[in-house]
Amino acid sequence: MAKSNPLAIRSFLSTFVLLFVLQFHVSVSLESPTTESVYVPFLQCLINQTNSVDEVSNIVYAQTNASYTSVLRAYIRNAAFNTTSTPKPLIIVTPLKEFHVQASVICAKSIGIQIKIRSGGHDFAGISYISDEPFIILDMFNLRNITVDIENETAFIQAGATLGELYYRIWEKSKVHAFPAGVCPTVGVGGHIGGGGYGNMMRKYGLASDHIIDVQIVDVNGRLLSKESMEEDLFWAIRGGERASFGVIVSYTVRLVPVPEKVTVFMVQRFLEDNATDFVFQWQQAAPRTDDRLFMRLQLQPVNSKVNRGQLTIRAYILALFLGGADELVSLLGKEFPLLGLTKENCTEMSWIDSVLWWASFPNGTSPEALLDRHLNSAKFLRRKSDYVQYPISKDGFEWIWKKMIELEIIDLALNPYGGRMNEIPADSTAFPHRAGNLFMIHYSANWHDPSADADKIYTTQIRRLYSYMTLFVSKNPRSAFLNYRDLDIGINDFGNNSYEQGEVYGVKYFNDNFYRLVKVKTAVDPENFFRNEQSIPIFPNKE
């Protein structure tokens, strides 16, 4: 066992004894819990469950702990939630072992305190680390073990690992294996895969959640379940519908996918002044229907025009990954996307791991070890929204969109093509429903650095306005949204008498008809709705 810090242990024991004595003099009210009223019973319970004062002292942070603030801030990715006025957890628990997670769930439930679960902190709405009611954070960042088995083409990944760490560990073992997940290396595995997890190989291989072959989850009773020991419906639900609604994901076992020794990437851009509208219209025709080895993300930004000084224009640029060589790609797109004008000089052939670095905007030649860096230089203020497009947008429609984007000035769009494997997987095969019938998904993005309330109001208003303007072009009944781009504007649950109805508002947007099966599963596995957040799956209302 690692040597403990005697001063830390003595400090812990002194605090514990003091608070334990206070129990005899202070009436503990769970109607309005405080750190003082929660810390002692929670800590006592953890010690009883784990039989170790030493271990507990190293994983529990009260607000009075000197490391509390640094632990809390380490995985806040949205600077809007890193302010003095942001609601703070009464306690942060950083489990080192599976049974720490089990004990934390048992103890939080025993004292009636809400628990939030954080793996990487990239939930844009901060749902994993803020709440309007007293709460505890279960921060999974210490549970980050990854075991890659190339012989069986699988990987075991604990929920606190990042995508960058996963990609690096795969690369260590094989240069021709990969995993189809997101392009941001600091995203935590737990939430990413549980909410579906798309990336630049989804047209070839589907989502990250489509490759789950086993999972460990701690349920509301503190049991550590696997695929073998859980109900089939729960295993269905956690593949694309699990964002802390059913339990605490501890690990995934996933199936790896093959990639060629060399892949090809390119970036090509156009502006309105050089025919961007026709360029984008032809992208819309080609990107969802082309070879499924090719993924072409289209980014749209209002920028200063170099032709008409003092005016804004639209920059349209494509970032692409092709699981093949440059010659084949140039030939393919010469036929299917001639306005792209792709040449071999536009393309760069590289290993898959180098393409991961390229997509994450690392300079050429960066070592793969960079993927092991878990921390961002700084968090940005941000807002996000999402949409699905099911019918082609006309050229006139795009011209109208350009006008609105220029009018608003500050909102970017990323268009991510579907098709390929995404068309082949039935919408109800997992909880993730957005499959055939979608041409592409839109990701709305607003980023800023000004911490003032005025800046927040401006950017929030602008992204909402563009989202409203886009109503004509996107999916309807429901207007669908992507779970991992959390958007509290589409509905919030306060878990009152109308909890089910409130949950249905956002639930059908994230899950379409799969929402109703998710509610059935939720009601069966967590009937008291212990695992909840502002957009969790509700339970069926009590019929009594």
The catalytic site residues sit at 485
Closest to 280 measured CA to CA, from 302, 303, 307, 299: 299
Please give the Cα distance from 170 to 178 (Å, whole number).
7
Q: Give the amino acid at 485.
A: Y
DSSP 350-391: E-HHHHHHHHTTPPTT--GGGGG----S-PBEEEEEEEEE-S
State the residue for tokens 């069986």.
152
Q: Which residues contact 122 (CB under 8 A, 6 or more apart)?
A: 77, 184, 186, 187, 188, 191, 192
Burial of 293-331, coded b for 16+ CB within 10 Å and e otherwise, reads: bbbbbbbbbbeebeeeeeebbbbbbbbbbbbbbbeebbe
* Strands ordered across the beta sheet of 224-225: 146-149, 154-158, 248-255, 212-218, 224-225
Residue type, 539: I
Query: How far does the chain reach from its first CA to its final CA, in angstroms?
Result: 53
Paired tokens of 123: 């939930």
Q: Computed from CA positions of residues 84, 89, 91, 96, in that sequence, does the dihedral angle turn out positive or negative? A: negative
